[in-house]
A and B are shown apart, each in its own frame.
Chain A
Amino acid sequence: MATLLVDGRRVEAQAGDSLLVALVRAGLHPTGGGCLCAGGDCPNCLVTVDGVAYTRSCQVQAVAGMEVTREHLGDEEPALLAKEPTSAGNAAPVRHVHCDTVVIGQGDSGREAAREAGEAGLHVVTLDAREGQHVTGVYPGPLVVASDKAGRVLHVHPRREIVVATGAAEIQPVVPGSDLEGLVTARGAAELVAAGIDLGRAVAVGERPAGLPERTLTGHFPVGEGGWELVRFEGGGRIEAVVVRRHGDTGAAEERIECDTAILGLGRNPRNALARMAFDLPVRVVGSAAAEPELPPCPREGTVCPCSGVTVADLDGVWGRGFHEMELLKRATLAGTGTCQGGVCLPYLRSFLLERGGRLQPAFTARPLNRQLTVRELAAGAHTAVTARSPLHDEHLSLGARMDRAGGWWRPWTYGRRDDEYRSVRERVSLGDVSSLGKMLISGPDAEAFLERIVPTRVATIRSGRCRYVLMLDERAYLLDDGILCREVTAGPGSGDLLDDGMLCREADQGAGDRFFLTSTSGGSGFFELWLRDWAEAFGCDVRILNQTASLAAINVTGPQAARLLARAGARELPAFGRHRAVRIAGVDCRVVRLSFTGELSYELHHPAADAPRLWRRLLATGAGFKVQPHGLETLLRLRLEKGHIVIGQDTDYDSTPRRLAHEWAVNLDKGDFVGRQAILRTNKQPLDKRLVTLRADEPPAREAGDPSAEGAAIHDGDRYAGYVTSDAGTTADGGVPMLGWLYLDAEGKLPREVTVDGRPARRVDGPTYDPDGERARTAVDTASETPENIRKLPVARSEATDLAAEAPAEPPLLRRLEATRVSATSKALDALVERPPWIAGALAFRIAPDELLVTASPDFEVASDPHAIVERETAFSYVWLEEGAAERFLDRECEWRRPDTRPALAQGEVAGIPAKLWFEAGRTLILTPAPFAAAFQRRLARSLAEIDGDGA
């Protein structure tokens, strides 16, 4: 016995009762009326169970303590608002099952299909509604999604076949009175009687119900040719009588049979929605699900669609007004759009349309969801993409920074000292975390030729040790991204000297070749790697590309005292403006790039991610004497605006050619072809219409305006609308307000000089509003020599490579930083390298791409057969060893794809929504994940393992 609470009233259920049986046993109809099928095919038993409305009471077991509300009584719809707070944002747990064959439905034909497949040696998974496994949809993949007991969701991935053995639904009665209480289908009656429920005086109409003792029937009226026709049910609330007449004779006398229950055996319709949904997947339909649909007689009167309350009169009205297509009939009445998805009405709609239009129309499209899961259940297995974190994330938090999502990264927006952050850059020295910049290393015989075709700047004139701001255009010449291109200092064959002029670079071409370092914006780095690789392949360029975005952190040291701070931090020689070089600062090997986004003397320090916190803290400590203050993104956006530097996406759109952006100076049309060049030549023939310009207003907007920024404000040239503002960061020290904005040329093809913004006068200026000649950024410093060193060969102080093989799984498993090496080389060279490893014995080497290797050894080896190979220290990954059993259980839950069976094996893909590399050995499994995701992965790992233990799995 189990006690339930139904509409606040105690109801006793017996062991094995479905909720429907328990309700009927207590004399309650779940919805107040309508024929009960007990097969999940109709909407007549829907109740709210424990706050979840639209629950089919015939498909759930009665459980002690269940709270049931019969909200569908009357016209009351369930409430949208949960009565109690729900477990916000928590998706249900998912279980991924990989198999050969999945059999949906475990009636006779489903069991037979499963047995046959099992005997053929296939791995078979069965799903059965009676086991709480309700299939919601069959999707490409193929993927079969089903609920499971205990609120879990199954994602079944069959490799070979989906067998649909879902049986048939019973056709419901559509006559007046079909919404009374006391109607059951033949199968429904059998289930109720088997549960020991007394049906009273029962009259069977149609097929004789199976398994029903003779004495329970007080009458039986077969339907169809030579039999009877159902006319209506009579009663008030509850059925009192069934009315029938001889089939095919509308003039025949009616017979009225008094009863307590009417049992309807009106024919069957295959439950084939899943099969129709899966029409082009490897699906096989067996048993009665494969039968042709039976067509009931065209309905004369009554409710056709109980979900939406559509009557035969409604159908007639709509038909009479010209709605003749099945889909139009459905849309005009909403028949078939409720919970049972046409289970009741579809056969009648077809017979109605056949009779009226003389044409048998196909069923409307079968769509998911076949069985309705909740939002919480459907979210199972989905993860919100983790927002990337800089290696300095925790440093920012400890300094009290407010973090903000920008370009897919968490970045410090402000440290809460907005004015001082600004002043420290302009007057003293400041640190900015720019680790989120995209960073690519490019080498190879064609590296220079390749980059000439990617960027519109002439690359040949960027000498070794120099760097330049470059644009990256798409084929339509719209600005895609921008960044800094550095040519590395390379040694020619036999030359140990430092090289610093074009001639020597050409010499280098014949030897080791050129290597370039290219940055891109934070938001664009993922796409940008693909962009480079696609074009390299399209052009047939022989290049190696290594994406170091996550491998390297970057700190921008900027302000008048920047060089002095760095010198104090141990930097011996700093690059001059427009140059870069390798410098050891505070014991950390950095690539120092000197250009400027802030307008002040700036050094960008690119260095291994693992060393970032150490360097950051050291610079802060050393800079205390200069009152160093880190600046956030908010301040950076203000600083750059004073210099007129654009931000991709904020100041640009899908029509931003270099000409419109006033960036023609970064385009060289005289060099060879590059991506976007043809489009520039074509568009240059069109008259210019607008330009991105710098504006300066002398006064800030009125306070009462509310929004202090003019971004989005219209620019007017007299009365003429002349464009809008894209960037405005407020008033500068001199009281002016610099802005960027799109300005349309006037009728004479000229850019106006004096305009208004929001009614305020503003003036177009030709250069940046701050330090127009760029003297501050270019200032000469005496701590630096301009002689670059060979940064490739520099010895680096680093910790030992992680000895992965020697470690055993720990309890509890903890992710730790991996010290390793990444190699980009030709596929052949890597094959040879792995064949005869030059690194210490026992190091593990993972071939993570045809042209890329991750080795748990120090980067002190060369790739013999590829002089252009890139060999770089890699600290971007964290790792954890799991004991095999724990790994299997964790991955069963969190890994959607099929894992390799062989050992050892490497696999890569998402685990728990986070990119991961898996190394399977006998007895243990290694998981590598990008270090910025380590904390998130650790949490998911711990949570998942705890929940698995809780499941008793």
Chain B
Amino acid sequence: MNEFVERQMKLTWRPPKKSYDVAIVGAGGHGLATAYYLATRHGITNVAVFERGYIGGGNSGRNTTIIRANYGIPAAVRFYQRSVDLYRGLEQETDRWLMHQQKGILWMAHSEAAVRAERMRAKLNTEFGAETEFVEPRQVRELCPQLDIEGGGRWPVLGASYHPQGATARHDRVVWALAEGAMQRGAHVHQNTPVEGLILDGERVAGVRTAAGDVAAGAVVSAVGGHVSRIAAMAGLRLPIRTHRLQAFVTNHYRQQFGPIVASSELFFYASQTARGEMLLGAEIDPQPSFSYRSSHDFVQDVCRRALHLLPFMANLRVLRQWTGVCDMSPDYSPIMGRTGVPGFYITTGWGTWGFKAIPAGGEQMAELIASGETPELIAPFGLDRFARDRTMADRGSAGTH
């Protein structure tokens, strides 16, 4: 008996119509969340989500499922805290088991510069609603007894920031619950239906050209990951986005014994144990831009080596599987959400390595923007026009991390 077999959700597929109020490109977490919140919060259900493959098949199904709000700038902390809060209520709201587990994140420091960065992070996060405290090595040991506080003699832990609301959830189930919730209320999701072009009515985007024919829409939202630059180009937009690979791997499954999520920005890796018992490890993005989904050996090799400094118990665990997603990186390491300057065309992108944790808040806010016509205050700082206005949301502290 496998308790992880999905036994609750029901996906209802319907044939495409010729016209919708809202057409969303990309049935990943953000696209489906937008449809979900349009339906549940605003009663807008004449909505279609177009997906070139299967739902959640892109980065929504390839991330390391971490939910946290301990970012580096006030606007980001507030936004991600909203997402943390929505995630906490999402199981109850959808009445679905999403394997949401609050387990806390420890962010280790091995140098004085890192200690001050973590102290600073703790202070700034707490000020803007994402409870975080700086903890001493003794407390780190209590929170994670498996961790070698001496770092193998080479990377001693001098302290850590601890963000107790850090959590994980099963990525696929989040995607399916949002899809189910939207579908139940009448929204359409069309798999294996790539969007091949946009229908332009003068300046205005008035629909999408799909493999299954043209579809008119009052509003078109790009919630694409990976190839967002191509979709934007169809609307005549050039985005400040570069796409990089991000890799991860899991071990076989073991008894549940590893409590928190642990991260080290100096050793460049983070680790957690999944609900199923696998140790899940990730690191920073690959430095060179790429659309490739291919995994590399040097990634798993280097992360294993680095992780062994802090987690020596992993030496004898077998690595089961590695995989790769692609990250759309913006120049300031913050997402881009909202209007585009092209009437009828909205965008949610730049999700870098933080897309999964932002799914509910991103969807909620995009839905509110589309429904009300007003950019909500929470995402106003993240508009595309910020680059031209010299109002970038620089978040160096979040660069390349999960």
Residues of A within 8 A of B (CB): 51-54, 77-82, 85-91, 137, 139-141, 143, 145, 308-310, 314, 317-318, 321-323, 325, 327-328, 331-334, 337-339, 341, 367-369, 372-376, 378-384, 404-407, 413, 476, 633-634, 649-650, 653-657, 682-683, 686, 689, 706-707, 709-714, 721, 724, 726
Please name the residue on chain B nearest to A153 by beta carbon: B301
| Interface-central residue, B317, B323, B389, by most chain A CB under 10 Å | B317
Indicate if the CB atoms of B255 and A80 lie closer than 8 Å: yes
Report B35-71 CB contacts with A as 1/0, cut-off 8 Å.
0000000000000000001111100010000000000
Indicate if the CB atoms of B332 and A654 lie closer than 8 Å: yes
* Assembled-state Cα–Cα distance A662/B251 (Å): 50
Please name the residue on chain A nearest to B119 by beta carbon: A707
Please name the residue on chain A nearest to B279 by beta carbon: A80
Add 17 more A-B contacts to A331-B61, A372-B318, A406-B112 (CB < 8 A): A53-B254, A54-B252, A77-B255, A89-B154, A91-B308, A308-B4, A321-B11, A367-B322, A375-B308, A378-B304, A380-B301, A382-B298, A404-B113, A649-B396, A657-B390, A710-B123, A712-B121
* Assembled-state Cα–Cα distance A2/B307 (Å): 36
The 4 lowest CB-CB distance pairs between A and B, nearest first, are A322-B11, A712-B120, A88-B312, A712-B123
- Interface residue from A79, A337, A378, A382 paired with B321 (Cβ < 8 Å): A337
- Interface residue from B5, B318, B323, B331 paired with A367 (Cβ < 8 Å): B323
* Assembled-state Cα–Cα distance A688/B222 (Å): 32
- Number of B interface residues at 8 Å Cβ cutoff, please give it: 88
With a cutoff of 8 Å between Cβ atoms, the chain B residues found around residue A649 in the complex are 396
With a cutoff of 8 Å between Cβ atoms, the chain B residues found around residue A308 in the complex are 2, 4
Indicate if the CB atoms of A379 and B304 lie closer than 8 Å: yes
With a cutoff of 8 Å between Cβ atoms, the chain B residues found around residue A85 in the complex are 312
Indicate if the CB atoms of A78 and B254 lie closer than 8 Å: yes
* Assembled-state Cα–Cα distance A654/B120 (Å): 18
With a cutoff of 8 Å between Cβ atoms, the chain A residues found around residue B253 in the complex are 77
Query: Which residues of chain B from 234 to 287 have a CB within 8 Å of any chain A CB?
Result: 251-258, 266-267, 273, 276-277, 279
Interchain Cβ contacts under 8 Å between A and B, 7 examples: A80-B257, A81-B313, A88-B152, A327-B53, A375-B317, A384-B267, A683-B390
* Assembled-state Cα–Cα distance A713/B74 (Å): 11
Knowing A53-B252, A654-B333, A721-B74, the reply to whether A712 touches B122 (Cβ < 8 A) is: yes
Query: Which residues of chain B from 90 to 115 have a CB within 8 Å of any chain A CB?
Result: 110-113
Q: Is B372 an interface residue (CB 8 A)?
A: no
Q: Nearest-CB distance from A766 to chain B (Å)?
A: 24
With a cutoff of 8 Å between Cβ atoms, the chain B residues found around residue A91 in the complex are 304-305, 308
With a cutoff of 8 Å between Cβ atoms, the chain A residues found around residue B191 in the complex are 325
* Assembled-state Cα–Cα distance A382/B308 (Å): 11
Q: Is B291 an interface residue (CB 8 A)?
A: no
With a cutoff of 8 Å between Cβ atoms, the chain B residues found around residue A82 in the complex are 313, 315-316
With a cutoff of 8 Å between Cβ atoms, the chain B residues found around residue A655 in the complex are 332, 390, 392, 394
Q: Nearest-CB distance from A855 to chain B (Å)?
A: 34
With a cutoff of 8 Å between Cβ atoms, the chain A residues found around residue B116 in the complex are 650, 709, 711
Knowing A80-B313, A707-B119, A712-B121, the reply to whether A368 touches B297 (Cβ < 8 A) is: yes
With a cutoff of 8 Å between Cβ atoms, the chain B residues found around residue A331 in the complex are 56, 61, 172
With a cutoff of 8 Å between Cβ atoms, the chain A residues found around residue B358 in the complex are none
Indicate if the CB atoms of B148 and A88 lie closer than 8 Å: yes
Q: Is B374 an interface residue (CB 8 A)?
A: no
Q: Is B342 an interface residue (CB 8 A)?
A: no
Please name the residue on chain A nearest to B273 by beta carbon: A80
With a cutoff of 8 Å between Cβ atoms, the chain A residues found around residue B254 in the complex are 53, 77-80
Knowing A78-B255, A405-B110, the reply to whether A52 touches B316 (Cβ < 8 A) is: yes
Indicate if the CB atoms of A334 and B312 lie closer than 8 Å: no
Please name the residue on chain B nearest to A88 by beta carbon: B312
Please name the residue on chain A nearest to B294 by beta carbon: A140
With a cutoff of 8 Å between Cβ atoms, the chain B residues found around residue A724 in the complex are 74, 124, 127
Q: Nearest-CB distance from B54 to chain A (Å)?
A: 4
Indicate if the CB atoms of B252 and A339 lie closer than 8 Å: yes
Q: Nearest-CB distance from B77 to chain A (Å)?
A: 11
Indicate if the CB atoms of A711 and B111 lie closer than 8 Å: no
Q: Nearest-CB distance from B71 to chain A (Å)?
A: 12
* Assembled-state Cα–Cα distance A88/B308 (Å): 7
Indicate if the CB atoms of B305 and A384 lie closer than 8 Å: yes
Indicate if the CB atoms of B123 and A713 lie closer than 8 Å: yes
Indicate if the CB atoms of A321 and B119 lie closer than 8 Å: no
Indicate if the CB atoms of A375 and B315 lie closer than 8 Å: yes
- Interface residue from A145, A372, A375, A712 paired with B124 (Cβ < 8 Å): A712
With a cutoff of 8 Å between Cβ atoms, the chain B residues found around residue A53 in the complex are 252, 254, 316-318
Q: Is B134 an interface residue (CB 8 A)?
A: yes
Report B367-402 CB contacts with A as 1/0, cut-off 8 Å.
000000000000000000000011110111000000
Q: Is the interface of A mostly helix, strand, loop or mixed?
A: loop
* Assembled-state Cα–Cα distance A380/B319 (Å): 13
Indicate if the CB atoms of B300 and A333 lie closer than 8 Å: no
| Interface-central residue, A137, A325, A331, by most chain B CB under 10 Å | A331
Q: Is B6 an interface residue (CB 8 A)?
A: yes
Q: Nearest-CB distance from B7 to chain A (Å)?
A: 6
Please name the residue on chain A nearest to B252 by beta carbon: A54
With a cutoff of 8 Å between Cβ atoms, the chain B residues found around residue A710 in the complex are 123
- Interface residue from B112, B119, B319 paired with A375 (Cβ < 8 Å): B319
| Interface-central residue, A656, A706, A712, by most chain B CB under 10 Å | A712
Q: Nearest-CB distance from B372 to chain A (Å)?
A: 25
Indicate if the CB atoms of A89 and B295 lie closer than 8 Å: no
Indicate if the CB atoms of A332 and B5 lie closer than 8 Å: yes
With a cutoff of 8 Å between Cβ atoms, the chain B residues found around residue A369 in the complex are 300, 319-322
Please name the residue on chain B nearest to A652 by beta carbon: B396
* Assembled-state Cα–Cα distance A860/B294 (Å): 53
- Interface residue from A80, A89, A373 paired with B258 (Cβ < 8 Å): A80
Indicate if the CB atoms of A325 and B54 lie closer than 8 Å: yes
Please name the residue on chain B nearest to A334 by beta carbon: B4
Knowing A368-B295, A655-B392, A689-B391, the reply to whether A310 touches B5 (Cβ < 8 A) is: yes
- Interface residue from B53, B252, B273, B331 paired with A476 (Cβ < 8 Å): B331
* Assembled-state Cα–Cα distance A192/B10 (Å): 47
Indicate if the CB atoms of A89 and B6 lie closer than 8 Å: no
Indicate if the CB atoms of A54 and B318 lie closer than 8 Å: yes
* Assembled-state Cα–Cα distance A374/B320 (Å): 9
Indicate if the CB atoms of B257 and A79 lie closer than 8 Å: yes
Indicate if the CB atoms of A317 and B7 lie closer than 8 Å: yes
With a cutoff of 8 Å between Cβ atoms, the chain B residues found around residue A721 in the complex are 74
Indicate if the CB atoms of B6 and A332 lie closer than 8 Å: yes
Please name the residue on chain B nearest to A721 by beta carbon: B74
With a cutoff of 8 Å between Cβ atoms, the chain A residues found around residue B6 in the complex are 318, 321, 323, 332-333
Please name the residue on chain B nearest to A689 by beta carbon: B391
With a cutoff of 8 Å between Cβ atoms, the chain A residues found around residue B86 in the complex are none
Q: Is B185 an interface residue (CB 8 A)?
A: no
Knowing A80-B255, A649-B396, the reply to whether A339 touches B320 (Cβ < 8 A) is: yes
Report B308-339 CB contacts with A as 1/0, cut-off 8 Å.
11001111111111110000000111000000
Indicate if the CB atoms of A334 and B276 lie closer than 8 Å: yes
With a cutoff of 8 Å between Cβ atoms, the chain B residues found around residue A653 in the complex are 394-396
With a cutoff of 8 Å between Cβ atoms, the chain A residues found around residue B112 in the complex are 404, 406, 413, 633-634
* Assembled-state Cα–Cα distance A214/B110 (Å): 68
Q: Nearest-CB distance from B33 to chain A (Å)?
A: 18
With a cutoff of 8 Å between Cβ atoms, the chain A residues found around residue B2 in the complex are 308-310, 314, 333-334
Indicate if the CB atoms of A89 and B301 lie closer than 8 Å: no
Indicate if the CB atoms of B321 and A341 lie closer than 8 Å: yes
Please name the residue on chain A nearest to B255 by beta carbon: A77
- Interface residue from B172, B277, B300 paired with A378 (Cβ < 8 Å): B300
With a cutoff of 8 Å between Cβ atoms, the chain B residues found around residue A77 in the complex are 253-255, 277
Report B132-157 CB contacts with A as 1/0, cut-off 8 Å.
00100000000000101000101000
Please name the residue on chain B nearest to A137 by beta carbon: B297
* Assembled-state Cα–Cα distance A687/B305 (Å): 48
With a cutoff of 8 Å between Cβ atoms, the chain A residues found around residue B256 in the complex are 80
Indicate if the CB atoms of A328 and B123 lie closer than 8 Å: no
* Assembled-state Cα–Cα distance A373/B6 (Å): 30
With a cutoff of 8 Å between Cβ atoms, the chain B residues found around residue A338 in the complex are 252, 320
* Assembled-state Cα–Cα distance A706/B323 (Å): 43
Indicate if the CB atoms of B122 and A323 lie closer than 8 Å: no
